[in-house]
Amino acid sequence: MGEQLRFNVLGPLTVTVGEAGVPLGGARQRTILALLLVMPGRVVPVDTMVDTVWNRNPPPTARTQVAICVAALRKIFKSAGVGGDVIVTAHPGYRLDTAGHDVDSLRFAELVRGAEQYARSGLLAEAAQAYAQALGLWRGPAFAGVSGPAVEDEAERLEEHRLNAYDDSILAHLELGQHQELIPGLAAMVREYPLRERTRHHLMLAQYRSGRRADAMETYRDAHSQFIEELGIEPGPDLKELHDAILRDDPSLAPVPAVVDRPDAPGPAAGSAAAAPAPAVPAAPPAAVPAELPPDIPAFTGRAEELTALHGLLAGAGEERAPTTGLITGAAGIGKSGLAMRWAFRSAEHFPDGQLFADLRGYDENHEPVSAHDVLSRFLRSLGVPGEQIPGDLEERVSLYRSVLADRRVLIVLDNARAYAQVRPLLPGGGRCCVLVTSRDQMEELVTWPAQARVHLGLLSEPEAVELITAIVGERRIATAREDAAQLAELCDRLPLALRIAAARLASKPHWTVRYLVNRLTDERRRLDELSQGESQIRASLALSYKYLSEDAARLLRRLGLLDAPDFTAWVGAALLNREVIDAERLIEDLVDAQFLEVVSIDATGQLRYRLHSLVRLYARECAMKEESEPDRTAALTRVLRTFLTIAEEADRRENAGHGTGVHSDVRRRRIDSELLDELLTAPLEWFEAERLALVASVRQAARAGLSELAWDLTGSAAVFFGTRSYTDDYRRCCEEALEAAHTHGDLRGQAAMLFGLGSIELVHSEMERSSGYLEQSVRLYEEAGESRGRAVALRLLGQTARARGETEQAMGIFAEALAIFRDTGDAYSEIHTLHNMAETELVAERPESAMTYALDAVRLGESLGSDTRNLAQALHRLGQAHLALGGLPEAEQAFLRAVRIVKEKSDTVGLAYTLLGLGETRFRKGDTQQAGTTLADALETAEECGSPMAAGRVRLVLAELSRSLGRTEEARDHLRTAQEVFRDIGALAWQRRAEEALAALVG
């Protein structure tokens, strides 16, 4: 039979063997496997696969491509050690043979059936335990990351079963009398599923039995409001009856003593593992915690003593003192990272609040070491801190980081650290966390910390080295060649990296004997001499494996070494070689097999992301410099950047209803297969998210390579993404790098575009003077370059700064000039943007009728584009403001609700703050003070989280009115004083005057 596969669909689709993940390839292979898992053991027709993969618009070669994908999956499973075909050909398609393997959805159903049987027999504690085990299998939405009607339908079915199991488990706990413990989890579930009556029924009953009768009534009133508002109907009879029973304190609501001991009752079905411990109360799905550990090292061998030493870290973790720290040191290629990952995976369960990982690149000769400043930014985001709240100052970041970790138990792995100074800012302040560092440096400062484990790695012993070769090549081939294997281990100096490379060659060449490879290595005496000493041992090992690569794979490796991007997907390899993606995928897998590449993750678009180890990158770049001509190196790099630009520009266009948002260069785009574009850009913002780090690195590399047009155009194409997701630091860095390159090359358009970007950043942060300065330069340079549309875009933003300073007439003049240009050039997207800005300006000038005209024009034009864009949301916001000013409260509320829905879908936090402000003010004017207060509180929290002082100040103005209407004068005064200070600090004079006038009226 071989290894047992575990198919996991209750969350992102993954397959594992033991503790190791199995890479599944691209999106098509994942979709096909998902379809087979929708119906495990049953035949899935090829036509169904074709329709799902290509969304009923298949190419002529679709059936052939399905067969290729199936063959690739079979190869993947065989490489994982599985005997026999897991995917069986059966007319008219394929069937997944799950015999001997595990499917978590089937295990979930089995556990639920066992729990139901326990419940029917009155064994409530056992039922609750089995339900908890079943619910614990879920890691997120079923089949997350895979699309297609059949898969999505199955995901919905499984989700409904999960919710039913949750409700059934709650019923068991209620009958066990665990009312109070249930309330927090139930309340969270009701917030997530407000129209699910059974869950709300359980919450009301738990609240009542816990003595919280008023809370139970409020839960019912909230249900009544939501059902009427969203469905137009009242809650069902069960909720009504419970409501009435609570009102009269019906004795039947009291808990009934449960039967908890029935040894003769049947247990769950075999294989359900009912004896395993489970939490007493199943709560709502747990909040996401970071799980950043890279994949575990396959075929890990030896290091038992070192693992035992590291295990001592767990004894100190969780105590209130300095954090436990572990340090792994040793030479390059000795296996420091592998040991760290193996221990981290074994110990992850001891750190329920997550695992953080950073490669600090301390020994990467082609890159600067990663700064603690940048690592802290990523760690804080992983720990749930919004990007807008992350301070710019290093010490402030350290303080926030340690505060966030103060009550958490997190494992932090810092790989490839060069010196203690690089690590110190990343150490938590308390003892609940554990830090594990790998380095070539002995780091005496770190060793002095209490509760530490220090491990220095030497070479593997001969038995361990042979065991490592055996694990990769297979027992059958090594059993008859033990002496040859021992000699091979010595020729590799028992160095794990060299051993893995040599063993990979044997595994990929089943017709080779071990003696044959030993003879080949012996012939390379000079290389082996180098392999046995100092730093050159890694280079010799890499050269050995490199020599056996195919010509195309070697070329791809060399050219990958030219890139600065930290990771990549298959389209990058295709661009480097100027080949099709399917060819690049095959060669990339060859490099993975040869241990040159490692799989980092599957990103949000379903693409496998790969990276070069830093030492491999160094070697690959050396080879490129020796073996590739300068024109070939430049052409390869340029193709990647041109491809990146093509995809980014298309992503920007799709995200904005078919209209690009910026000025573009004359760089010739590289043609991309439309099918690949569709696969990558199903959700354009998610593609940008997956490529963010690569994008920033590529802009920097293009700028420093003198490819200024590529640098500024790529930055401009990502501007909406950077703004929507509040990646201000990344956007600023790209603008500054590209601006410098454009200035060096005398590129006026590029300078203007990047000055526009810097102006927009300052505008978001309400730095009006700096914003105006950048934008005025941008307008002037666009004019010199003869770029009328770019000049209009910069004028439009300049008009916003004028309005913010209270100069409404000047702003309207600027907007009118920009609008005329957009209409002449047929730029509908920019026309919408300008119209809704004119509407807002007219509102500031207290001309609501004129504002209504502009807002209606903007919304109509936005709706004509046929897609819900951020631009349309802004137009709807202005329309809502106009209705509000004219007293059309129902119309205003509808406009704001539409805008809220759109900005939430886009994760546009600044837009959400403003739309919630409008919605809250509308509800206040309608007289619904309670709902208005809740909405405005959400608006203020959002504005402060995303760092928008203008939005926060405006929310406080309305909150002051609300407080005053409720007779809370001091509270109103506090809001107005704070708003006045905010407006004064950012130079928003008109709004400052409003705050002062309101404050004077309040005092009077």
Q: What's the confidence (pLDDT) of residue 526? A: 47
Query: What are the CB-based long-range contacts (under 8 Å, 24+) for 699-702?
Result: 699/734, 699/737, 699/738, 700/564, 700/733, 700/734, 700/737, 701/563, 701/564, 701/565, 701/637, 701/641, 702/641, 702/738, 702/741
Query: What are the CB-based long-range contacts (under 8 Å, 24+) for 842-850?
Result: 842/808, 842/812, 843/878, 843/881, 843/882, 843/885, 844/803, 844/806, 844/808, 844/990, 845/808, 845/809, 845/812, 848/882, 848/885, 848/886, 849/886
Q: What's the confidence (pLDDT) of residue 642? A: 96
Distance CA 19, CA 14 (A): 12
Residue type, 507: A
Distance CA 788, CA 176 (A): 73
Q: What's the confidence (pLDDT) of residue 657? A: 56
**R_g of the chain, CA atoms, integer Å:** 31
The CA–CA distances, whole Å, from 865 to 14, 606, 656, 807 equal: 38, 28, 9, 32
Whether 69 has a pLDDT exceeding 80, the answer reads: yes
Whether 533 has a pLDDT exceeding 60, the answer reads: no
Report which of 899, 845, 903 is spatially closest to residue 877, judged by C-alpha positions. Answer: 899
More confident residue, 895 or 231: 895
Edge-to-edge strand list for the sheet holding 452-456: 355-359, 411-417, 434-439, 324-329, 452-456
Distance CA 72, CA 570 (A): 15
Mean confidence (pLDDT) of the chain: 84
Judge contact between 870 and 862, C-beta under 8 A: no
What per-residue string of b and e applies to 192-222 under the rule 16 or more CB within 10 Å gives b?
Answer: eebebbbbbbbbbbbbbbeebeebbbebbee
Unique residue bearing structure tokens 């407000």:
194
Distance CA 422, CA 246 (A): 61
Q: What's the confidence (pLDDT) of residue 266? A: 35
More confident residue, 667 or 619: 667
Percent of the chain with pLDDT over 70: 91
Residue type, 164: N
Q: What's the confidence (pLDDT) of residue 365? A: 56
Whether 773 has a pLDDT exceeding 90, the answer reads: yes
Judge contact between 895 and 876, C-beta under 8 A: yes
Other beta carbons less than 10 A from residue 28's beta carbon: 22
Judge contact between 912 and 874, C-beta under 8 A: no
For CA atoms 178, 179, 184, 190, give the dihedral sign.
positive
State the DSSP string of 77-133. Answer: HHHTTB-S-SEEEETTEEEE--TTSEEHHHHHHHHHHHHHHHHHTT-HHHHHHHHHH
Q: What's the confidence (pLDDT) of residue 841? A: 94
Query: Tokens representing 603?
Result: 């990103």
Percentage helix, strand, coil for the chain under 3-state DSSP, each rounded to 5: 65, 5, 30
Distance CA 932, CA 916 (A): 10
Q: What's the confidence (pLDDT) of residue 276? A: 32
**DSSP assigned state of 402:** H
Whether 59 has a pLDDT exceeding 60, the answer reads: yes
Query: Tokens representing 859?
Result: 């919304």
Query: How many degrees, rounded to 5, is the angle at CA 529 between CA 525 and CA 534?
Result: 160
The pLDDT tens digits for 327-348 are: 998 766 788 888 999 999 888 8
Confidence of residue 285 (pLDDT cuts 50, 70, 90): very low
Whether 456 has a pLDDT exceeding 60, the answer reads: yes
**What's this model's pTM, rounded to 2 decimal places?**
0.53
Judge contact between 521 and 488, C-beta under 8 A: yes
Whether 325 has a pLDDT exceeding 70, the answer reads: yes
Judge contact between 574 and 580, C-beta under 8 A: yes
Whether 723 has a pLDDT exceeding 50, the answer reads: yes
Report which of 122, 44, 126, 31 is spatially closest to residue 73, judged by C-alpha positions. Answer: 31
Kind plus residue range of the DSSP H or E element containing 655: helix 630-655
Q: Going by C-beta distance under 8 Å and a sequence separation of 6 or more, which residues neighbour residue 732?
A: 758, 761
Kind plus residue range of the DSSP H or E element containing 343: helix 336-347
Distance CA 928, CA 931 (A): 6
Instruction: Mark out the alpha helices in 946-988 (DSSP H runs).
Output: 949-965, 969-986
Confidence of residue 229 (pLDDT cuts 50, 70, 90): confident
Whether 655 has a pLDDT exceeding 90, the answer reads: no
Unique residue bearing structure tokens 């200070």:
981
Confidence of residue 99 (pLDDT cuts 50, 70, 90): confident
Kind plus residue range of the DSSP H or E element containing 45: strand 43-45
Distance CA 628, CA 366 (A): 18
Q: What's the confidence (pLDDT) of residue 431? A: 67
Coil, strand or helix: which one is 338? helix
The pLDDT tens digits for 336-391 are: 888 999 999 888 888 888 899 999 988 765 567 888 999 999 899 888 888 888 88
Report which of 767, 771, 790 is spatially closest to residue 779, judged by C-alpha positions. Answer: 790
Q: Averaged over 790-794, what is the pLDDT?
A: 91
Q: What's the confidence (pLDDT) of residue 724? A: 77
The pLDDT tens digits for 819-834 are: 999 998 888 888 998 9
Report which of 852, 873, 853 is spatially closest to residue 862, judged by C-alpha positions. Answer: 873
Other beta carbons less than 10 A from residue 467's beta carbon: 18
Coil, strand or helix: which one is 20? strand
Q: What's the confidence (pLDDT) of residue 256? A: 56
More confident residue, 792 or 491: 792
The CA–CA distances, whole Å, from 251 to 208, 209, 212, 219, 730 equal: 12, 11, 16, 20, 62
What per-residue string of b and e applies to 274-308 under the rule 16 or more CB within 10 Å gives b?
Answer: beeebeebbbbbeeeebebbbbbbbbbbbbeebbe
Whether 903 has a pLDDT exceeding 60, the answer reads: yes
Confidence of residue 319 (pLDDT cuts 50, 70, 90): low
Whether 641 has a pLDDT exceeding 90, the answer reads: yes
Judge contact between 512 and 518, C-beta under 8 A: no
The pLDDT tens digits for 584-593 are: 999 998 888 7
Whether 293 has a pLDDT exceeding 70, the answer reads: yes
The pLDDT tens digits for 391-409 are: 888 999 999 999 888 878 8
State the DSSP string of 497-553. Answer: HHHHHHHHHHHH-TT--HHHHHHHHHHTHHHHHHHTSTTHHHHHHHHHHHHTS-HHH
Whether 489 has a pLDDT exceeding 60, the answer reads: yes
Q: What's the confidence (pLDDT) of residue 791? A: 92
Q: What's the confidence (pLDDT) of residue 583? A: 92
The CA–CA distances, whole Å, from 110 to 13, 51, 114 equal: 20, 31, 6
Whether 41 has a pLDDT exceeding 60, the answer reads: yes
Other beta carbons less than 10 A from residue 717's beta carbon: 25
Q: What's the confidence (pLDDT) of residue 448? A: 58
The pLDDT tens digits for 944-980 are: 877 788 888 999 999 999 999 998 999 999 899 999 9
The pLDDT tens digits for 563-602 are: 999 999 999 999 999 999 999 999 998 888 776 887 888 8
Distance CA 514, CA 995 (A): 83
Q: Are strands 608-612 and 597-602 parallel, antiparallel or unpaired?
A: antiparallel
Q: What's the confidence (pLDDT) of residue 287? A: 39
The CA–CA distances, whole Å, from 283 to 172, 181, 187, 278 equal: 13, 9, 10, 12
Q: What's the confidence (pLDDT) of residue 575? A: 96
Kind plus residue range of the DSSP H or E element containing 556: helix 551-560
Bridge partner list, 894 = none
Distance CA 463, CA 122 (A): 56
